[in-house]
Amino acid sequence: MTPPYRCALIGFGTIASAVHGILSQEPSGSPDLHWGALVRPSSTRARPPAAITVFDTPEALLAWKPDLVIEAAGQTAVRTLAPAILEAGVNMIITSAGALADPDLYQRLDQAARQGKSRIIIPSGAVGTLDYLNALQGTQNVHVVYESRKPVAAWRQELITLGHDPDALTGPLQLFEGYASEAALRYPQNLNVAATLALAGMGMQATRVRVVADPGLAENQHRIQVNSPIGTLDALFQNTPAANNPKTSAIVAHSVAQAVRRQFSHFTIG
C-alpha cells in the first residue's frame, strides 16, 4: 500500500463520524487518508460531509478498493458485510466485537480472513489491559471478572423493557451476571467491552460479567479484575459518555483512530 490510503467507514453514526473528525484534523506526518462511507439510503442519520465518497451498496464500496474498512454500525453489519470484505483481502476494524460471541460467526470470519489473506482488528475501545490479558493466554487457573457500571441513560430502554421506571431508580440495579458469551449477545449496544476482553484473554466462557445501572454515576465505569498464578490486576476506567450516545464512551472513537494510525505506521508500541 502507498499513500494516500483509502479508508472506508461502515455507518456514519457517533463513532464513525468522530473517528473521521479526529483523523481529518491530524497534523502533517499522520496517515494521508481518502475517506469513503457505506450508509443506508434510508438512514435518518446525518449524511457524511462532501469530502467523503458515499456508497449505497457493499459492492460499490469494494469496487472503490479500500485499504482498510472500519465497521461502526452494529452487530448486524458484522454478520452481513464482514465476510465479503475479508474475503476480498481488505483488513477490517470491527468495533461491534460482541458479534464475535457467536462461535459460528467467529469461525466464518476467521475462514474469510484466511481465504482473503486479510486481518480482523479489534480495537481496545473503552478499556486498556488487553495486552495483559493477551499475555496470559496459555496460563492455567486464570480468573477474569468484568463489571460494567453505567448511568441510567445508557440503560433506559433496557430498564423499561424489564419493567423498571428509569426515572424512579434510586440506587444501583444489577441487570445481568453471567459469562461474556451471553452478555455480549444480550446487550449488543452496551457490552462490546465484555467480548473484547474475552477475545483478548481467556475466552467467552471463562470471562465473568456483571452489568449494573447506577443512577449515581455520570460516567461509564469499567472494572477489570484478573487473578492468576503469575499476578493480579485490578483496573478501573471511568469514561465520559459520547455526546450523542450514552451507551458508548467518548474514548472509543480515539481508540479506533489509533488503530487506524497503527495500520499505516512503520512504528508501533504495544
Q: Write out the catalytic residue numbers.
A: 222
User: Could you give the CA distance from residue 189 to residue 106 in angstroms, rounded to a whole number?
Assistant: 18
User: Could you give the CA distance from residue 154 to residue 77 in angstroms, rounded to a whole number?
Assistant: 22
Through-space distance between the first and last CA atoms of the chain, rounded to whole angstroms: 23
CA dist 43 → 55, 70, 74, 171 (Å)? 12, 18, 14, 37
Task: Give bridge partners of residue 174 from the DSSP assignment.
Answer: 212
- Is residue 211 within 8 A of residue 176, CB to CB? The reply is yes
User: Could you give the CA distance from residue 224 to residue 236 in angstroms, rounded to a whole number?
Assistant: 7
Provide the strand spans (E) within the chain.
5-10, 33-38, 53-55, 68-71, 91-94, 120-121, 143-150, 173-179, 207-213, 220-228, 231-239, 241-242, 245-249
User: Could you give the CA distance from residue 88 to residue 82 in angstroms, rounded to a whole number?
Assistant: 10
User: Could you give the CA distance from residue 234 to residue 51 in angstroms, rounded to a whole number?
Assistant: 44
Residues 6+ apart with CB under 8 A from 188: 74, 75, 96, 98, 99
Cell output for 109: 470470519
